[in-house]
Amino acid sequence: AQTVTQSQPEMSVQEAETVTLSCTYDTSESDYYLFWYKQPPSRQMILVIRQEAYKQQNATENRFSVNFQKAAKSFSLKISDSQLGDAAMYFCAYRSVWGNKLVFGAGTILRVKS
Amino acid sequence: GAVVSQHPSWVICKSGTSVKIECRSLDFQATTMFWYRQFPKQSLMLMATSNEGSKATYEQGVEKDKFLINHASLTLSTLTVTSAHPEDSSFYICSANLAGVSYNEQFFGPGTRLTVL
């Protein structure tokens, strides 16, 4: 079974600075999808960024980018120019191409200081 | 974008009563919906996968007689917590698969907070 590990329970970043959230995963599959979701205080889950494992190029979405290291099974999220609205719980998630289930990590609470 | 709604957003009930939570995909058809449970500051725990017109598939350790799931149409799935007890108090989130795209993205509802007194 696949597992997702987020080793940072909490992180803090100063407004306008850059922060990186870590995620590692374990799988025997060669093709899969990886996601970062944001859950703000409203608790609405929001997709931040998605990476297909077959793509070597790291995904980027505006201020959000990932560092996908397939061999190391690592998938970190970099948030540049952090804003107060980025404060939330962030979940890393894995999905096989052969199934629909998402496997979530434990989450990282990100605090943004003004 | 695809929108998923949940109703109610919060509910308080007495111990021993049953509570029904609805999950609707508003602008797309979802052949598969998922139900999650989340405790404060914890991750989402998948309870069951619901497919339209068939029985739900429950994750290990989830009581199927306790958490009844019905997926009667391509836009509606319901979760009924039967004979609720205080330990069932939690945040329940549903999601729906947008089929037809390569990555079958899941769209999440806003969640339902259940408090059992």
The answer to whether residue B102 scores a pLDDT higher than 60 is no
The answer to whether residue B58 scores a pLDDT higher than 70 is yes
Span B82-97, pLDDT tens digits:
999 999 999 999 999 8
Residues of B with CB under 8 A from a CB of A: 32, 34, 38, 41-44, 46, 49, 91, 93, 95, 97, 103-106, 108, 110-111
Among residues A74, A73, A113, A110, the alpha carbon closest in space to that of A90 is found at A110
The answer to whether residue B98 scores a pLDDT higher than 90 is no
The answer to whether residue B103 scores a pLDDT higher than 70 is no
Tell me the nearest-neighbour CA distance from B43 into chain A, angstroms. 5
At B27, is the pLDDT very low, low, confident or very high (cuts 50, 70, 90)? confident
**Inter-chain touch B42–A107, beta carbons under 8 Å:** yes
At B72, is the pLDDT very low, low, confident or very high (cuts 50, 70, 90)? confident
Q: Is A102 on the interface with B (CB under 8 A)?
A: yes
Chain B residues with CB under 8 Å of A43 CB are 38, 91, 93, 110-111
The segments of chain A whose pLDDT lies below 50 read: none
Beta strands in A1-114 (DSSP E): 3-5, 10-14, 19-21, 24-26, 32-39, 46-52, 60-61, 64-69, 74-79, 88-96, 103-104, 108-113
Mean pLDDT to the nearest integer, B35-50:
95
Higher pLDDT, B54 or B84: B84
